[in-house]
Amino acid sequence: MGTRRPARKPTLLDVGRLAGTSTAVVSYVLNGGPRAVSEKTRVKVEEAIHLLGYRRNPLAGALSGGRSNLVGLLVPDTANAFFGELSRHIEAEGRRRGLLTLLGNTGYSASLADEYGETFSELRPRGIFVTTGEEASTEDETVRVHLQWAVPGSPSVTFDDFHGAKLATEHLLSHGYRDICCVAGEFAAGPAEGREGGWRRAMADAGLSTEGRLVRTAFDRVEAGRAVRQVLESGTRPRAVYATTDEQALVTIRTATSLGLRVPGDLAVVGFDGVREARLGSFPLTTVSLPLADLADRAFDVLDETLAGGGPAAPVVLEGTLSLGVTCGCEPGAAADATREGVAARG
């Protein structure tokens, strides 16, 4: 006999929807404040609670007068090396500050992100860190700090993706490559917009066209591999590839190798992110390395400033550096951190 999966426990969001009100109002009813609720609305909320069988979390009830030692973190997929490393840095920085991190994998689903956000909010965390661009559709009072993707009106810690992309493309140009293809995500939004825009600017500054040189694909390695294979097997194979993520760059190298191409002899490749998998080993990837430890540190600072100031803290923008490997055509033993080159390019 098969086993039945237990039904999902109702959340504040479910109660609010049934009662026709916000989750914040539901919280006011449960906690007796801090804001007043009309008798009519209170009755609707209590009826919804009874009908759904909602049971408040005991920890949330115990903390009705304050915040817990928890923070939330929402990422699309920790199987992606970038988000896995970002998660570890946030968790480590939280521990250093005496806080525990709740992690939710959203799979790029806005509804799942809202569900996680509502569930985390019931535990009264100090705040929730969000790594995608969706604004919360709920009205709870938990502070959300956006990481790597700025949202207008919300506190954020992001990277200068445009400059990093320009730096990576200019490095390929310095090797003499002119036919440089960009492997990008499905949409030019958020960080992807800057990472694509920097490539376009560097190509334009060099008097080169980007027409027909952009490949859009999902970040999933299998899907990206199919798209890259089509390009490499075409009669117009590029001489170099700038990939907007290290995941895509690694896929490009693996696909090229499977087709008998030499990297960088036949195809030069540069990535973006600086994940450990890409930078370590005997065949390190040339990539734009992002300061994830700094991002984690500043993320908690921005959260504290927002809580203390009663409004969004000023946005923070961090810069990456070009880490030289061998996939671009540089000789083995080249400086791993090309900070001086980045400064010269900016100047």
Q: In angstroms, rounded to a whole number, what is the distance separating the alpha carbons of residues 285 and 22?
A: 48
Coil, strand or helix at 322: strand
DSSP tag of 135: P
Q: Which residues contact 253 (CB under 8 A, 6 or more apart)?
A: 263, 269, 285, 327
Q: In angstroms, rounded to a whole number, what is the distance separating the alpha carbons of residues 185 and 164?
A: 16
Which is more confidently placed, 30 or 72?
Answer: 72
For 242, list phi and psi in degrees, rounded to 5.
-105, 115
Cα-based angle 284, 285, 288 (whole degrees, multiple of 5): 130
Residue 170: CA atoms inside 13 Å, Cβ hemisphere, count? 20
Bin 46: left if φ > 0, else alpha if -120 < ψ < 50, else beta. alpha
Which is more confidently placed, 262 or 153?
Answer: 262
Q: In angstroms, rounded to a whole number, what is the distance separating the alpha carbons of residues 292 and 294?
A: 5
Overall average pLDDT of the 26-43 stretch: 81
- Give the length of the chain: 347
pLDDT of residue 4: 47
pLDDT of residue 187: 86
pLDDT in tens, 94-144: 999 999 999 999 988 888 998 899 889 888 899 999 998 767 666 678 999
- Where are the chain's structural domains? 9-56, 161-291+320-346
pLDDT of residue 16: 87
Tell me which of 104-113, 271-280, 305-314, 337-346 is least confident. Answer: 337-346
Domains 9-56 and 161-291+320-346 share a fold: no
pLDDT in tens, 52-90: 888 766 555 545 456 788 999 999 999 999 999 999 999
pLDDT in tens, 204-242: 999 999 999 999 998 778 888 999 999 999 888 999 999
The CATH class of 9-56 is: mainly alpha
Average pLDDT along the chain? 87
Overall average pLDDT of the 6-21 stretch: 81
- Which of 333, 317, 321 lies closest to 171, judged by CA? 321
For 296, list phi and psi in degrees, rounded to 5.
-65, -45
Beta carbons of 200 and 214 less than 8 angstroms apart: no
pLDDT of residue 219: 78
pLDDT of residue 33: 65
For residue 339, pLDDT beyond 50:
no
Q: Which residues contact 269 (CB under 8 A, 6 or more apart)?
A: 240, 241, 243, 249, 252, 253, 256, 263, 285, 286, 327, 328
Q: In angstroms, rounded to a whole number, what is the distance separating the alpha carbons of residues 32 and 65?
A: 11
Q: In angstroms, rounded to a whole number, what is the distance separating the alpha carbons of residues 290 and 250?
A: 17
Letter for the amino acid at 340? R
pLDDT of residue 57: 62
pLDDT of residue 314: 93
Which is more confidently placed, 91 or 331?
Answer: 91
Work out the number of other CB atoms within 10 angstroms of the CB of residue 37. 18
Overall average pLDDT of the 3-30 stretch: 77
Work out the number of other CB atoms within 10 angstroms of the CB of residue 211. 6
End-to-end CA distance of the chain: 70
Q: In angstroms, rounded to a whole number, what is the distance separating the alpha carbons of residues 175 and 265?
A: 12
pLDDT of residue 109: 87
259's tokens? 């087709």
pLDDT of residue 141: 81
Q: In angstroms, rounded to a whole number, what is the distance separating the alpha carbons of residues 249 and 95?
A: 32
Query: Topology of domain 161-291+320-346, per CATH?
Result: Rossmann fold (3.40.50)
Overall average pLDDT of the 179-206 stretch: 95
For residue 264, pLDDT beyond 50:
yes
pLDDT of residue 344: 36
pLDDT of residue 167: 97
Q: In angstroms, rounded to a whole number, what is the distance separating the alpha carbons of residues 336 and 339?
A: 9
DSSP tag of 167: H
Beta carbons of 227 and 182 less than 8 angstroms apart: no
